[in-house]
Amino acid sequence: MKKLGVSFDEICTDNWEAFASVFQEYTHKAGKKYTTDIEGNNTLLRHRIRRAVRKTCCFSKKFENHIKAFEIVFFYINFGWI
């Protein structure tokens, strides 16, 4: 994660043993009560961005079009319009 330039304070995962071994050096919180917000965000994205779910619905061959679609949805989510 550090090589990618990603910074964070803590990692929240479900109680799966593989996560505990991978994220040993980080502050790690395990349990479903910490992951419900993340699952809610993933559900919101699946419902709002159909191209992230199925290839047959609104699928474009240009990668830039997919990035722009995600950027538009993130804009609306961040400014409270969704």
pLDDT at 12: 81
The yes-or-no verdict on residue 71 having pLDDT over 80 is yes
Read off the pTM. Answer: 0.45
pLDDT at 19: 76
DSSP string across 24-69 = TTS-EEESHHHHHHHHHHHHHHHHH-GGGT-SSSS--S-HHHHHHH
Q: Which two tokens stand for residue 61?
A: 């061959």
Q: Which two tokens stand for residue 57?
A: 């619905």
Domain boundaries, the chain: 1-48, 49-82
Of residues 55 and 72, more confidently modeled? 72
